[in-house]
Amino acid sequence: MSERYYDLEIKGCQRRLPILNINDSLAIAAFVMLGDVELTEICADELLKKVPEGTQVLMTAATKGIPLTASLARKLGFSRYVVARKSVKAYMDEPLCVEDESITTAGKQRLYLMREDAELMRGKNVLLIDDVISTGGSMLAMRELVDLAGGKTVGEMAVLAEGPAADRDDIMFLAPLPLFKAAGRDGAL
């Protein structure tokens, strides 16, 4: 169990995030909103205010962004949203595929988009959603999928922007999330 924590507050909703080493020099505050209905709904309400006009489709990558995207889709009156999956499922006929590198995933991973979702995005304005933007690898992979499907990415949005991502002006987010030195190397980076 972690002995270090980062206290996060979003619109009065407070969460204590454990700080966990991801390698010998770097640690992150583990932000997991899966299963947290209160936090998901508060974040969806706040992100709803930032949705670009003309957005027609919402897209996220499995898994942690799914409840947030589902809530946003409901609030926008959308009947569907798109999920880029991390493996090919039996029901996926002729999936599109791109590679992704993420700070929280060891090595490269692939993201897959089923044909029906690609058809849904063709010619549409697509907003990309995730729980955290850090290196931007997942967003880059989702943008590539949107391009392959013939859609147009109109924005990238997340609950948190981690580390240097918080300095970006091309993404929408609710709060910054610092990076930390690995245990034994006190302080934030």
pLDDT tens for each residue of 116-170: 999 999 999 999 999 999 999 999 999 999 999 999 999 999 999 999 999 999 9
For 6-34, the pLDDT digits (tens) are 999 999 999 999 999 999 999 999 999 99
- pLDDT for residue 127: 98
State the residue for tokens 């390698």.
Answer: 23
- Give the rounded distance of the alpha carbon of 60 from its chain centre: 6
Q: How far is CA 90 from CA 16, 69, 80, 85, 109, in A?
A: 39, 23, 20, 12, 19
In angstroms, the CA 59 to CA 66 distance is 9
For 85-117, the pLDDT digits (tens) are 988 888 888 898 998 766 555 567 899 999 999
For 169-178, the pLDDT digits (tens) are 999 999 999 9
- pLDDT for residue 105: 56
- pLDDT for residue 106: 58
Say whether pLDDT at 74 is over 80: yes
Say whether pLDDT at 70 is over 80: yes
Between 188 and 141, the more confident residue is: 141
Say if CB 73 and CB 80 are below 8 A apart: yes
- pLDDT for residue 91: 87
